Amino acid sequence: MPHVVAVAQRKGGAGKTTLAANLAVALAAEYKVALVDIDPQGSLTQWHAIRMTRTDAKPLTFANLSGWRLTAELDRLKRTHDFVIVDSPPQIDTDAKLAIRGASLVLIPIQPSPPDLWAAEGTIKLAAEERRPAVIVLNRVPPSSRQKDILAAGLADRGIVPMRATLGNRTAFVDAFAAGLGVTEGAPRSSAAKEIQALMREILERVG
């Protein structure tokens, strides 16, 4: 059964695109994966363009399109892929709604800061309205536990249980993305690669 994972967050700068790229690369080691960019900023499209110039990167099916075409594109891609990862726009609009509506799972990356948590509430609400499962991914978590503890308390107050796997604030993610790679390719023995693999395994558990 094919699965669609929408990476959504109404606040920019939460690491949405980096998460989508790294998750797709990690999954592609075992599954047939497609990536879809409906974010007008096009950062994922630029990443993929760099990737296409490399000879050491596993090919990924890729599409860059407007959100109104998303439903038909998802139907097409699900016929030939195990996973379709969608990088959605950093705001709640029609395109984001279509991405969430078509998802098997909605991933909401948030950094350990109150604005990220506040922004995530709108995405959580939209997923609930569309009756789609949504889960928080703690991203760019600093080594200090104080900010993480404050965020965890804020999530608990809202009855939200985040993913067990968290992603640290690591340069390996930045370096790999700039090179058109996932961190599991660019730095396979790094802590960052282990974090992405742990997140991937947890997602596989959730989608069955």
What are the helix (H) ranges across the chain? 16-28, 43-52, 70-78, 94-101, 114-129, 145-157, 171-178, 183-186, 191-207
Q: Topology of 3-207 in CATH?
A: Rossmann fold (3.40.50)
Half-sphere exposure of residue 142: CA atoms within 13 angstroms, side-chain side: 10
The pTM of this model reads: 0.93
* Tokens describing residue 21: 């790229």
Determine the pLDDT at residue 44: 97
pLDDT in tens, 20-78: 999 999 999 999 999 999 998 999 999 999 999 999 998 899 999 876 789 999 999 99
Model pLDDT for residues 75-118, shown as the tens digit of each residue? 999 999 999 999 998 876 778 889 999 999 999 999 888 888 88
Bridge partner residues of 3 (DSSP): 83
Phi-psi region of 167 (alpha: psi -120 to 50; beta: other; left: phi over 0): beta
Q: Are 83 and 33 contacting, i.e. CB atoms less than 8 angstroms apart?
A: yes
Which of 167, 170, 157, 173 lies closest to 117, judged by CA? 157
- Residue 62 token pair: 């890729």
Distances (CA, A) of 82 to 30, 36, 37, 54, 92: 10, 14, 17, 24, 27
Q: What is the pLDDT of residues 176-192, one digit of tens each?
A: 999 999 999 999 999 99
pLDDT score of 145: 65
Q: Which of residues 41 and 208 earns the better pLDDT score? A: 41
